[in-house]
Structure 1
Amino acid sequence: MAIEDSYKASGEHEEYVGSDMVKNNIAHTDYAEAYVPDTEEEKKLVRKIDLYILPTMWIMYLLSYMDRTNIGNAKISGMEEDLGLDSDRYSITLVVFFIGYVLWEVPSNMILARTKPSIFLPAIMFFWGCATIGMAFINSYEALIGLRVLVGLLESGFAPGMLLLLSSWYKPDEQARRFGVYISAAILSGAFGGIIAGSITRNLNGAHGLAGWRWLFIVEGAATAGWSIIASFILMDFPANTKRLSEPERELAIRRLMADPSRLDGGEDRPKLSHFGALKVALTDWRVWLFVVGYMAVVGSSTLSYFYPTLVEGLGYSTVNAQYMTIPIYGVAFVITMIIVFYMDKYPRWRGLVLGCCMGVACICSIITCAVYDFKARYALLVIMASGLWASNGLSLA
């Protein structure tokens, strides 16, 4: 439904962006016949789309994931003692983030379809960056809970918005690699987060009377707010209304997507759905619910990212070294994920089998970790488990 949210086509081609209609006279009424795949013109267009979307999206998601998971680094850097967090309170702090996140994901995407990605996504990013900075100045567990809920609400529109934007620009056989790039930002955020957290907590602890964990929120929140302003001048909107492309480029971008057989099923007889109609169709489709169950398993397991600093510290490392020792975990996961998604674009029929194998490996490693007491073996198992989980995440999105 992502394409239909940014435009709809019939006859003289009328394009919709949310509720706003943009009319463009395109001479081709049969997209399957008008589109010639793999031309130099198309390759040049795809490279241009990549240049506008992928680097900007990558940095945005990197900062997004750092802002939601930096609480794990802050916890072992003094926040636990300063705010009186025990294991139960820390777990609650993690859970409340997802309450607002889950409830607001669908409404935020409906808002996005009626606005522009170049405005909506940087705007919510700016505000959650400010909320992250606010965490540096709290002095109670209750205030931490409130800000975590707020950050969850604001971030809820980002990930689904980016997925909507990616699926609005790329053909199905181009998506696995792009989703892999997208997921790689979340993976490397753990590595960068460890480097940044270790440097900040070691060098800024006590500066201007603030603890190192407070500086962690200030620096990362300021980076998020700053990049959101830059992103608003770079990020592309939907194919029908982007101003980053010329008119012929926009026409080609639309033609190449509409020529895909899965887009043309039903032709002009296919009913044009409203946003609520599309929601109803999605909620009554058993495949959607099957995907939800499967993706819950993948994403639920990926929340281990919040606990990697604590798990590594439990292997006998100091607070600062524990943050640095999370870097190899994410580094290996990044390499494995990128190799897998690169080949899955070439062999899309194998995605399901490879996804199942990755999840199986991660599951086996997590079980063995509980039974092994050698610290080096546990660390190696954490590395393999993280690789399986992150590779599964990228494949499930594709």
Structure 2
Amino acid sequence: MSPTEVQKQEIGHLEDVAFSHGYTPDSPEERKLVRKVPMLWVMYIFNYIDRTNIGNAKVAGMSADLSLSATDYATALSIFFVGYLLNEIPSNMVLTRSRPSLFLPALMFAWGALTIAVKGVNSKGGLIALRFCLGFIEAGFFPGVMFLLSCWYKPFELAKRLAVFYTASLMSGAFGGILAGAITGNMDGVGGTRGWKWLFIIEGLATVCISVAAVFILPDFPHSTKFLTPDERALAIMRLVTSTSNDKQLTHWEAFKAAVSDYHTWLLTLAYMGITSAGTISYFFPTLMGSLGYKGVNVNYMTAPIYCSCLVICILVGFSSDHFKEKPFHIAGCAIVSGISFIIVSQTSSSHTVQYVFITFGGAGIWSATPLFLSYALSNFKQREKRAVAIAIINGLGNLASVYGSYIWPSKSAPQYRLGFGCTTGFILFGGAMVLLNRFLVGDLSKQSQADDDADEEARHQHHAAGGKSKLDDVEDEQRSV
């Protein structure tokens, strides 16, 4: 018997099990299953640390050692996103036909090795080249995670889970700042190596170790995850049947054409470009702490409370969004809070405490809007292959905005950095406005999804009772190709 026939037989068995047991939404079995799916949280912590530790290294002597000007540093930041854009869509296309439990850890192992390779960087040209390669490798991870989660969770379940997942970036900011202060302050010169290089070496080694462990704990797709029982796999498929498109499976080229021809893809891309452009402020937090009067390792340490505060706010906003089954207005509200906060920071010079507090609120607005936006974007595309390409386009072009976002914080604008805060305010408000425009054009997706779910559930039972082809058969066709 061929592998395809074996897989078809297995999925057919899952269908029989699912229908014989029936599907009851929000059952104890379903809640247990949802909690059982790993959230990739630890992996994302190290993904974000390896991407943003350059900011901590900058204030720990990297700029002086490599003779980096403000423009050189901005170029090293922005070139990362050029590589990121080039490989993002191809990576997500490959993911739809591969095993996530192998593909994502392989990416992680590769970028961990590249991070360690900073040990051999002794010029700005070497740094820029390595950052390009790092962006190229990391490109497949974040959109891949978004796509994988959308294959496990219903649209109205995603906001709080993406919020929790995204807190890994905030935790990495807090943990990364403390770790950077400890490593650069205590290991400078050990083994003839500068402290900022030890920062990359240690964090890269940790990333490689985590990637090996991830192979054994990550899920694949619902029908193929080995650590689930047959009943659990059947339930994982059935609970998503009503949230899955009836459309046939698309080839890579068909999915690409479908995504690029949908105006929602481009409207949401503009929104994400605004949000991610505002998010480049995180690369300059250590620099901003220096402008507030903090010195030495305290520059890195003082970034930790900002990230911890943002983490709590992000989770609360995510749970609120899922509770009310509403995303666009939550995103717009976060954008408004962030914009107002940065205006206050840029216009205040007499109190560093006030500036610090509103930098925190401004950052919380950006990082609360980001996971909400991603879950909202996923809900705009039901067809699986199209969704994979669309989210790669949105995330890729959105992150490309960081190319110019890296240049809005020139050292000559210190200590007020009015250009940076002004542009960041405009970016985040623009992102919020684009989300509201998309909401106006497509209506309330949560109500549409619920109506579709009710209709599909009724049709599914009627078809199965009549011996006809159920919607799960379409899911079977879609899953069989993985």
Asked whether the two chains share a fold, i.e. TM above 0.5, the reply is: yes
CA distance in 1, matches of 2:169, 2:324: 24
What is the CA distance between 1:34 and its match in structure 2?
4.3
What is the CA distance between 1:259 and its match in structure 2?
2.4
Q: Which residue of 2 aligns with 1:220?
A: 203
CA distance in 1, matches of 2:340, 2:156: 31
> Is 1:38 aligned to 2:26, yes or no?
yes
What is the CA distance between 1:246 and its match in structure 2?
1.4
CA distance in 1, matches of 2:96, 2:249: 15
Q: Which residue of 1 aligns with 2:188?
A: 205
Q: RMSD of the alignment, in Å?
A: 2.0
What is the CA distance between 1:239 and its match in structure 2?
0.9
Contact 2:18/2:234 (8 A) holds in 1: no
What amino acid is the match of 1:291? Answer: L
Q: Which residue of 1 aligns with 2:66?
A: 83
CA distance in 2, matches of 1:277, 1:251: 29
Match of 1:24, SS state, is: helix
Alpha-carbon deviations, 1:110-162, whole Å to 9, x = none? 11112111111111111110100111221100000111011101100100111
What is the CA distance between 1:376 and its match in structure 2?
1.7
Aligned residues: 369
Q: Which residue of 2 aligns with 1:10?
A: none
Contact 1:28/1:34 (8 A) holds in 2: no
CA distance in 1, matches of 2:253, 2:325: 31
CA distance in 2, matches of 1:180, 1:391: 7
Q: Which residue of 2 aligns with 1:290?
A: 267
Q: Which residue of 2 aligns with 1:192?
A: 175
Give the 5 Å matches for 1:1-398: 24-26=11-13, 27=15, 34-49=22-37, 53-54=38-39, 57-260=40-243, 263-264=244-245, 267=246, 270-349=247-326, 351-374=327-350, 375-398=352-375
Contact 2:174/2:305 (8 A) holds in 1: yes
CA distance in 1, matches of 2:22, 2:88: 36
What is the CA distance between 1:277 and its match in structure 2?
1.1
What is the CA distance between 1:30 and its match in structure 2?
10
What is the CA distance between 1:363 and its match in structure 2?
1.5
Q: Which residue of 2 aligns with 1:11?
A: none
Match of 1:382, SS state, is: helix
What is the CA distance between 1:397 and its match in structure 2?
1.2
CA distance change for structure 1 residues 224 and 381 in 2, over 3 Å: closer, same or farther? same
Match of 2:216, SS state, is: coil
CA distance in 2, matches of 1:94, 1:391: 23
Alpha-carbon deviations, 1:312-333, whole Å to 9, x = none? 1111111200100001110110
CA distance in 1, matches of 2:264, 2:4: 28
CA distance in 2, matches of 1:272, 1:139: 49
Any gaps of 5 or more consecutive residues in structure 2? 376-482
Kindly report structure 1 stretches of 4+ aligned residues shifted beyond 6 Å. Answer: none
Q: Which residue of 2 aligns with 1:6?
A: none
CA distance in 2, matches of 1:287, 1:115: 27
What is the CA distance between 1:271 and its match in structure 2?
3.6
Contact 1:129/1:221 (8 A) holds in 2: yes
Q: Which residue of 1 aligns with 2:423?
A: none
What amino acid is the match of 1:182? Answer: F
CA distance in 2, matches of 1:23, 1:277: 28
CA distance change for structure 1 residues 162 and 22 in 2, over 3 Å: closer, same or farther? farther
Q: Which residue of 1 aligns with 2:456?
A: none
Match of 1:114, SS state, is: coil
Contact 2:55/2:286 (8 A) holds in 1: yes
Any gaps of 5 or more consecutive residues in structure 1? 1-13
What amino acid is the match of 1:326? Answer: T
What is the CA distance between 1:278 and its match in structure 2?
1.6
What is the CA distance between 1:15 and its match in structure 2?
9.3
CA distance in 2, matches of 1:22, 1:219: 47
Contact 2:17/2:234 (8 A) holds in 1: no
Alpha-carbon deviations, 1:321-351, whole Å to 9, x = none? 01000011101100100011012111123x2
What is the CA distance between 1:288 and its match in structure 2?
1.6
What is the CA distance between 1:353 and its match in structure 2?
1.1
Q: Percent identity?
A: 44
